[in-house]
Homo-oligomer: A and B are copies of this chain.
């Protein structure tokens, strides 16, 4: 037990452990889930006053469960691959007994009796809900109070702002988020962590407040690809082997690269060159013509479906809606069924056409966002480089891949065809090994 006492002394180090490493120590008996949860709580106490990643930290509840998991692991009764791992939940996901506010506070405050399906799966695998993290209002663009752990004058991105910041700040090794346009990968990129969303529909959104049902994906934040794979295997109820494997065949789309700032485009090109030197094949591809219309089509679907969900609430509380979600709903209310159905058809046509391009390579490599995290909290940044892959419902992952001279994270996005989430994770594991990004915000 000397090892255990030793680790209990260094709570900052414990909070920095990844999902896989912490789980391994818990299974070996060298780490107590209680110590891990306490280390996370200590980080939150120390840092959250200025970062504001958390809406609600369930100290008592999490410690009670941690003690139960500790007793279980002491008698080798391990519930699953996430036994004893604390996680954060974006505050549009239901957690039984905790309020769901959706960043809308008073007028959207519910205390659900049941966990969201994804929360239930993580808990069944032994994971511990640490609390709820800030979201932009109804997961759209009205910002959360959360700040970027790398530079508090900058946005952490959104809408899963608190989840990204909490994982980046080593407050928790794992967080759930959701992505309808760019709400997992963009904040992951801005905050220097891994953000992953599998194929649309693979992980149930039951118990998650919808933004647009056809487009909403459950996603995860971790600090490494293997951890994302571990969590994915639980959420998708699949055995997934995430192995770096052979150098991948990567596709680059110049028309996407041109949409990024010079700094980001140069970084992604340099990263691609480094991958090529390490043996990867890089091929320039042209995206199908339907790519040109995908932003407009996806936005129409988003506006329509958001309006359909919000209509009754909006009729009562319009004055309490933030300006961005209000505009979204108001635009959605004016769209005709024929326009919606045409947009959805265009979206699905892009999905079909782009699948061929994607499936012909191991991944498409793009920037995750056009710039690093913008200064200020008024905007959550530009989701346009994530949007096509959300609208197409294909799996995508963001990896931290460098820092700007001023110390903000840079990131790459890897995209694969629908149904190839596990394949994408293995490619990402190879890329992660080349990039060897080990920096943390140093909080």
Cβ-based interface call for A436 (8 A): no
Candidate in A308, A311, A337 with the most chain B CB atoms within 10 angstroms: A337
Binds B, one of A29-37, A275-283, A338-346: A338-346
Q: Tell me whether A341 and B341 are in contact (CB under 8 A).
A: no
**When chains A and B are docked, how far (Å) is the Cα of A334 from the Cα of B308?**
16
Cβ-based interface call for A357 (8 A): no
Contact of A304 among B308, B334, B337, B345 (CB under 8 A): B337
Contact of A339 among B337, B342, B345 (CB under 8 A): B337
Chain A 85-116, CB within 8 Å of chain B: the 1/0 string?
Answer: 00000000000000000000000000000000
Interface residues, chain A, with chain B CB atoms under 8 Å away: 304-305, 307-308, 311, 332-342, 345
**When chains A and B are docked, how far (Å) is the Cα of A334 from the Cα of B304?**
15
A367 CB to nearest chain B CB (Å): 32
How many copies of this kind of chain does the complex include?
A: 2
Chain B residue numbers with a CB within 8 Å of A339 are: 337
Closest to A212 in B: B341
Contact of A336 among B305, B333, B342, B345 (CB under 8 A): B333
13 sampled A-B residue pairs with Cβ under 8 A: A304-B337, A304-B338, A307-B337, A307-B338, A308-B337, A308-B345, A311-B338, A332-B337, A332-B338, A335-B338, A336-B337, A337-B339, A337-B340
**When chains A and B are docked, how far (Å) is the Cα of A340 from the Cα of B336?**
9
**When chains A and B are docked, how far (Å) is the Cα of A308 from the Cα of B340?**
9
A57 CB to nearest chain B CB (Å): 35
**When chains A and B are docked, how far (Å) is the Cα of A316 from the Cα of B311?**
35
Q: Tell me whether B338 and A341 are in contact (CB under 8 A).
A: no
Chain B residue numbers with a CB within 8 Å of A305 are: 341
A53 CB to nearest chain B CB (Å): 33
A209 CB to nearest chain B CB (Å): 15
Chain B residue numbers with a CB within 8 Å of A334 are: 336
A245 CB to nearest chain B CB (Å): 34
Closest to A342 in B: B308
**When chains A and B are docked, how far (Å) is the Cα of A332 from the Cα of B340?**
12
Chain B residue numbers with a CB within 8 Å of A338 are: 304, 307-308, 311, 332-333, 335
Candidate in A304, A308, A339 with the most chain B CB atoms within 10 angstroms: A308
A214 CB to nearest chain B CB (Å): 10
**When chains A and B are docked, how far (Å) is the Cα of A337 from the Cα of B333?**
7
**When chains A and B are docked, how far (Å) is the Cα of A159 from the Cα of B291?**
38
Closest to A312 in B: B342
**When chains A and B are docked, how far (Å) is the Cα of A336 from the Cα of B338?**
8
**When chains A and B are docked, how far (Å) is the Cα of A141 from the Cα of B204?**
39
Across the A-B interface, give the 4 residue pairs with the lowest CB-CB distance, nearest first. A308-B341, A337-B340, A304-B337, A335-B337
A346 CB to nearest chain B CB (Å): 11
Closest to A344 in B: B308
**When chains A and B are docked, how far (Å) is the Cα of A333 from the Cα of B334?**
13
Chain B residue numbers with a CB within 8 Å of A336 are: 333-337
Q: Tell me whether A304 and B335 are in contact (CB under 8 A).
A: no
Closest to A335 in B: B337
Chain B residue numbers with a CB within 8 Å of A335 are: 336-338
Chain B residue numbers with a CB within 8 Å of A304 are: 337-338, 341
**When chains A and B are docked, how far (Å) is the Cα of A311 from the Cα of B340?**
13
Chain B residue numbers with a CB within 8 Å of A341 are: 304-305, 308, 340
**When chains A and B are docked, how far (Å) is the Cα of A332 from the Cα of B335?**
13
Contact of A340 among B333, B340, B345 (CB under 8 A): B340
Chain B residue numbers with a CB within 8 Å of A342 are: 308, 311
Chain B residue numbers with a CB within 8 Å of A308 are: 337-338, 341-342, 345
